A and B are shown apart, each in its own frame.
Chain A
Amino acid sequence: MDRPMAWVNATLLPVDKPPIENGAIVVQGDKIKAVGASSSVTIPGDATVVDAKGKWIMPGLICTHSHIGGMGAADGSSPIQPGVRILDSINVRDSGFRRALAGGLTTINIMPGSGHLISGQTVYCKLRYYESSPRVVDEILIRDKEGLPIGGLKMANGTNSQGDSPFPGTRGKSAYLVREQYIKAREYQAKVVKANGDSTKLPPRDLHLETLVEAMQGKRIVHHHTHRHDDIMTVIRLSQEFGFQTVLHHVSEGWKVAKEIAQAKLPCSIIVLDSPGGKVEAKDMTFSNGRVLDEAGVKVAFHTDDWITDSRLFMRSAALAVRAGMNRNKAVAGLTLAGAEMLGLGDRIGSLTVGKDADIAILSGDPLSVFSRVLETWVEGRKAFDLSKSEDQLYAEGGMTAGSDLDPYLCCFAPAWQGGAK
C-alpha cells in the first residue's frame, strides 16, 4: 500500500481544527500525510484520487468502553482481581468487530465487566479486519514502543460490584476494600524500591499488586464504572488518595456534580441511552449529561458499552447529546479525539492530523443526522468496511448469520474476504 490515497472535495471534520467544507486528505502507508482545503493540499502524482464530493470524512470513531469479544476477565472468586487480563479471553472472531467497523469505529477499549470492584486489565484494539479477518487477538492489539499491548484497568463502584461475601455489601465496604488493596500495593512497591534490584530482597511477584502499582505510577489508566453522584465523588476521593489517573465511565449523575468533576480534572466517558432507568442508579440519566459536563469544563467522550448500545449507531450518542444542547464540535470530538486522549492515545489517533494513523470514516452526510450512513471505514490506511459490498452490508444491517462468529460463516462458503477456506 505504498501508493498514496487522496480524497478530494469532501467535507472534512479534522476535529482538532474547524471543519473544512471543501477539503482533501492524503494517506500514505498507515499514516495521514496531508489534510486541508482542496485548493491548498498538494496531491502526490502517483496517488489514487477519489472525488468525495458530497461526502463527509472524519477520524475513525473511538469507543472508550466496549465489550465486543466477550467479558472473560475476573471470575466470581473475589471482588478485586487486577492481575487478570481481558486480553486472554477475547474471541477475535466475534461478529461484533465487523459490526463496529460498520459504525465507523476503528479503535475500541475492550473492558472487563462491572461486577467487581476491580475486574481486570482492559486492552486497546485496532479493528484490523480487512479482506481476511484476524486469526488471533495479537493482530488487533495497540502496542507501545516496546511492543507491549496497551490497556487500562477496570474498576467499578455502586451496586453492580456489590454481592454476597467476599464481595462488598455496601458502598463503605466497597471503598474500604479498594483502599486496602492500594495500600498493600504501595507497601509492595516500597519493598521493590528498597530491594534496588537485589533479587534476594525483592518481594515475591504479585500480579495483582504489580498492576495496581502501574496504575499509581500512571502507566495504566483506571477506567472507572460509576453512576450515582456520591459514587462519582468516591472515585474522585480514591483517585486523589492514590494518585491513579482516572476516566469516569457512564457517569449517569455526572450532571449533578459537574463542577466537582471539573475541579478534579477527571474526564468523563458517558453513555447515552434511550431512556432513564432499568436500574435504580440510572433513574436520573438524561440526554443533557454531555452538555452540562462540557459546559462545566469537563472533557467528555461517549462510549457504546456494546452490547448495551450498538456500535453501528455510535454516532447517535453524540447526536442525542447535541439534541440536548451540547456543542456540535465537542460532541464530534467526544466520538474521536476526546476518547483517544482518555486512552492515552491522543498523539496517535482521534483526529485528521498529519502523522497520525490513517483511521478514517467516510460518511454519506453529517454524522449527527440519522439519515447519514457510514460508507467506508479505513484502518491504518487500508479499507476495512465498504457498505457497497454485500458481505459488509450484512454486518451493517443484520440478517441471517450476521450475529454468528466469523468462523461458522467461513466454514460454509469461505469468501476470500473472511480469510478463505481453511
Chain B
Amino acid sequence: MIHFQRNFAKIILSFSLCCSSAIAAPPLVVQAKRVLTAAGQTIENGTVVCIDGKIKAIGKTGEVAIPDNATILKSEVAMPGMVDVRTCAGLSGILNVKHDSDQIEHSSPLQPELRAIDAYNPREELVEYLRSFGVTTIHTGHAPGELMSGQTLIAKTIGNTIEEALMVDGRAIAATLAESSTKSGKASPGTRGKQMAMLRSLLIEAQEFQTKLNAKANPKPAVSDAAEKEKEKESDPIARNLRLEILVEVLAGKKALLITADRAQDIASAIRLGDEFKIRIWLDSAADAHLMIPQIKAAGVSVLLHPSMARASGEKENLSLQSASKLYAAGIPFAIQGGFEAYVPKVRVVLFEAAIAAAHGLNYNAAIESITISPARILGIQDRVGSLEVGKDADVALYDGDPLEYTTHCVGVVINGKIVSTLVR
C-alpha cells in the first residue's frame, strides 16, 4: 500500500512536470564559449538544447538547431549540474540546533531501518545554498557517528516536498568504522574489534532472514501439490522486520553499504566485510586512501573521497591532498564529496573541493568528472545525470569563467530544463 501511494505520487508529479514544460515552459537553450560535457569532450562554443526537462541536442553553436520560442541562456562556461556523492544537507540544517539536526540518532548503534526520506527537508537553506553554486543532485542521508546510522537517498536540489525532489529512495545504508562511533564504559561497541563483530552478527542475522524469505517464496520441491504450496505460503507468515529487510536488500546487491573509514586499518576492515558478505561497499571519506591504493584497487570498490579541505585531525590526521590524483592514476572509481560537518562550515561545496584537488595534482578533467559523472556512476544514476548528453536530465551549471577558479561565479543553474537559480555566486 505504501509503495502504491508513493508510485501514485510520482505519476502525478511526472504528469504535472510534463504538462507544465510542454505548455508553459518554452524550450531552454544554454550557449557557452566552453562546454565541459563530462562525456569525454569539451565543446568550444557549444549549445545545449533542453526540452521537456531533458537534453535534446548538444553540439557546436551554429550546428545545433535552436527551437522556436526557446529561452536562451549564455555564459562563458557550462558544465553538468554537479552531483555531491555524500552529504547530509537537508537532514543537517544551517542552524545546527535540535530543530534542524536529524542526521544522527544516538539511541542505538545499529539502526539501518531509519529512512532518510522521513527526515529530509527539501526547503533547507543549505540545499538552496549548494544549488546556487551548481550542485543539482545530492546523495544525502544519515551521518557518520554510529556503527550503522541509517539510510541515504538521492534527490535533486529542488522541490517543496521530498516526493518532488526524490530520485532514489534508500540508496545506501551508512555505517562508520571509527573511534567516533565507539561508546565509552560498558556500552558497545567500545573497540574496533567489537564494531566488526556487531556488523558481522547483524549481517549474518540478515542472511538467515533472507534464507527464510527465499524459502517462503520458493517452497521445497517436496511439496508437489500446487494447492499445498499455496497453503504453505499463507501459513506461518514471516514476521516483518524493518531492520533485517533493508539489510536483505544490501545482501541482494540492491543497496550499497556506505562505510565511513578513515584509518588504513578501518579501510581494510571495510573491504574484508564486503568480501565476506559479497556486498557492494562504498568507502566513505577514506583519509588514508593514499596508503591503501593497491588494496582498494584489488577490492574493486569505489571511494567517496573526503572533501579536500576536510580538517587533517583525529582520524583524518594523515589525509593527503594527493589522494584524489593517486586514486585517479590507479583507475579506482572515486568522487569528491561535500561530506558532513558538525560545526562550521555547515556544508561544503564540491566545486570548491574539486578545485583544491585540481590544484594539487589531479588532472583538470578528472576533477570536473569527480563531481559530475563519476559520482553519478558510483550512485548508479549515470543514465539520468552527471554529463551533458542527449537524453539525460537537463541539469546544467553556468559560470562566468573557469568553474574551478576562486574568483569565478556561478551565474545560473538549470534543473530538469528549468532555471532554478540566477544568483551570481
Interface residues of A, Cβ cutoff 8 Å to B: 273-280, 282-283, 307-308, 310, 313, 316, 319-320, 322-323, 368-373, 397-404
Knowing A276-B129, A282-B344, A370-B404 are in contact, say whether A398-B319 is a contact too (CB < 8 A).
yes
Closest to B409 in A: A323
B323 CB, nearest partner CB in chain A, Å: 8
Knowing A308-B344, A403-B317 are in contact, say whether A369-B405 is a contact too (CB < 8 A).
yes
The docked-state distance in angstroms from the alpha carbon of A316 to that of B359 is 12
Closest to B94 in A: A277
Closest to A315 in B: B406
A86 CB, nearest partner CB in chain B, Å: 19
The interface bits of chain B over 340-351 (1 if a CB of A lies within 8 angstroms of the residue's CB, else 0) are 010111111100
Q: List 9 A-B contacts (CB under 8 A).
A: A275-B129, A276-B125, A278-B346, A319-B407, A323-B409, A370-B406, A398-B322, A400-B288, A403-B317
B253 CB, nearest partner CB in chain A, Å: 34
| 8 Å CB interface, B329-357 against A | 341, 343-349, 352, 355-356
B2 CB, nearest partner CB in chain A, Å: 33
A273 touching B345 by the CB < 8 A rule? yes
Knowing A320-B406, A322-B407, A369-B405 are in contact, say whether A403-B347 is a contact too (CB < 8 A).
no
Interface residues of B, Cβ cutoff 8 Å to A: 93-97, 125-126, 129, 288, 290-291, 309, 311-313, 317-322, 341, 343-349, 352, 355-356, 358-360, 404-409
Specify which chain A residues have a CB less than 8 angstroms from the CB of B343 in the assembled complex.
278-279
B307 CB, nearest partner CB in chain A, Å: 9
A369 touching B406 by the CB < 8 A rule? yes
**Ordered nearest first, which 9 A-B pairs have the shortest CB separation?**
A403-B317, A277-B94, A278-B344, A319-B406, A277-B346, A274-B345, A278-B346, A398-B320, A275-B345
Closest to A279 in B: B96
B406 touching A283 by the CB < 8 A rule? no
Specify which chain A residues have a CB less than 8 angstroms from the CB of B407 in the assembled complex.
319, 322-323, 368-369
Knowing A277-B125, A368-B406, A369-B406 are in contact, say whether A403-B345 is a contact too (CB < 8 A).
no
Specify which chain A residues have a CB less than 8 angstroms from the CB of B320 in the assembled complex.
397-399, 402
Closest to B95 in A: A280
The docked-state distance in angstroms from the alpha carbon of A313 to that of B311 is 12
B355 CB, nearest partner CB in chain A, Å: 5
Specify which chain B residues have a CB less than 8 angstroms from the CB of A402 in the assembled complex.
312, 317-318, 320
Closest to A276 in B: B94
B72 CB, nearest partner CB in chain A, Å: 26
A283 touching B359 by the CB < 8 A rule? no
Specify which chain A residues have a CB less than 8 angstroms from the CB of B409 in the assembled complex.
323
The docked-state distance in angstroms from the alpha carbon of A276 to that of B95 is 9
Knowing A276-B346, A323-B407, A370-B355 are in contact, say whether A399-B309 is a contact too (CB < 8 A).
no
B12 CB, nearest partner CB in chain A, Å: 33
Knowing A323-B409, A368-B406, A398-B318 are in contact, say whether A403-B96 is a contact too (CB < 8 A).
no
Knowing A282-B344, A308-B344, A323-B409 are in contact, say whether A313-B129 is a contact too (CB < 8 A).
no
Specify which chain B residues have a CB less than 8 angstroms from the CB of A323 in the assembled complex.
406-409
A315 CB, nearest partner CB in chain B, Å: 9
B322 touching A310 by the CB < 8 A rule? no
Specify which chain B residues have a CB less than 8 angstroms from the CB of A282 in the assembled complex.
344
Knowing A307-B313, A310-B309, A370-B405 are in contact, say whether A277-B126 is a contact too (CB < 8 A).
yes
A151 CB, nearest partner CB in chain B, Å: 25
The docked-state distance in angstroms from the alpha carbon of A276 to that of B291 is 34
A370 touching B358 by the CB < 8 A rule? yes
**Residue of B95, B290, B344, B404 contacting most chain A CB atoms (<10 Å):** B344
Specify which chain A residues have a CB less than 8 angstroms from the CB of B349 in the assembled complex.
274-275
B63 CB, nearest partner CB in chain A, Å: 32
Specify which chain A residues have a CB less than 8 angstroms from the CB of B322 in the assembled complex.
397-399
Choice from A283, A372, A373 contacting B95 with Cβ under 8 Å: A283
Knowing A280-B97, A323-B409, A399-B318 are in contact, say whether A275-B312 is a contact too (CB < 8 A).
no
Specify which chain A residues have a CB less than 8 angstroms from the CB of B313 in the assembled complex.
307, 403
Specify which chain B residues have a CB less than 8 angstroms from the CB of A404 in the assembled complex.
317
Knowing A279-B96, A397-B321, A399-B322 are in contact, say whether A273-B406 is a contact too (CB < 8 A).
no
A313 touching B318 by the CB < 8 A rule? no
**Residue of A278, A280, A310 contacting most chain B CB atoms (<10 Å):** A278
B355 touching A283 by the CB < 8 A rule? no
Closest to B364 in A: A371
B398 CB, nearest partner CB in chain A, Å: 16
B419 CB, nearest partner CB in chain A, Å: 22
Specify which chain B residues have a CB less than 8 angstroms from the CB of A283 in the assembled complex.
94-95, 125
The docked-state distance in angstroms from the alpha carbon of A319 to that of B408 is 10
**Residue of A307, A310, A322, A403 contacting most chain B CB atoms (<10 Å):** A403
Specify which chain A residues have a CB less than 8 angstroms from the CB of B344 in the assembled complex.
273, 275, 277-279, 282, 308
The docked-state distance in angstroms from the alpha carbon of A372 to that of B360 is 10
Specify which chain A residues have a CB less than 8 angstroms from the CB of B311 in the assembled complex.
307, 310
A396 CB, nearest partner CB in chain B, Å: 8
Specify which chain B residues have a CB less than 8 angstroms from the CB of A319 in the assembled complex.
406-407
A316 touching B406 by the CB < 8 A rule? yes
Closest to A316 in B: B406
Choice from B97, B347, B360 contacting A275 with Cβ under 8 Å: B347
A403 touching B352 by the CB < 8 A rule? no
Closest to A99 in B: B312
Specify which chain B residues have a CB less than 8 angstroms from the CB of A397 in the assembled complex.
320-322, 360
Closest to B124 in A: A277
A226 CB, nearest partner CB in chain B, Å: 15
B345 CB, nearest partner CB in chain A, Å: 4
Specify which chain B residues have a CB less than 8 angstroms from the CB of A280 in the assembled complex.
95-97
The docked-state distance in angstroms from the alpha carbon of A399 to that of B311 is 13
B73 CB, nearest partner CB in chain A, Å: 21
A56 CB, nearest partner CB in chain B, Å: 15
A112 CB, nearest partner CB in chain B, Å: 18
B229 CB, nearest partner CB in chain A, Å: 58
**Residue of B96, B291, B313 contacting most chain A CB atoms (<10 Å):** B96
Closest to A309 in B: B309
Knowing A323-B406, A397-B360, A399-B290 are in contact, say whether A275-B348 is a contact too (CB < 8 A).
yes
Closest to B361 in A: A397
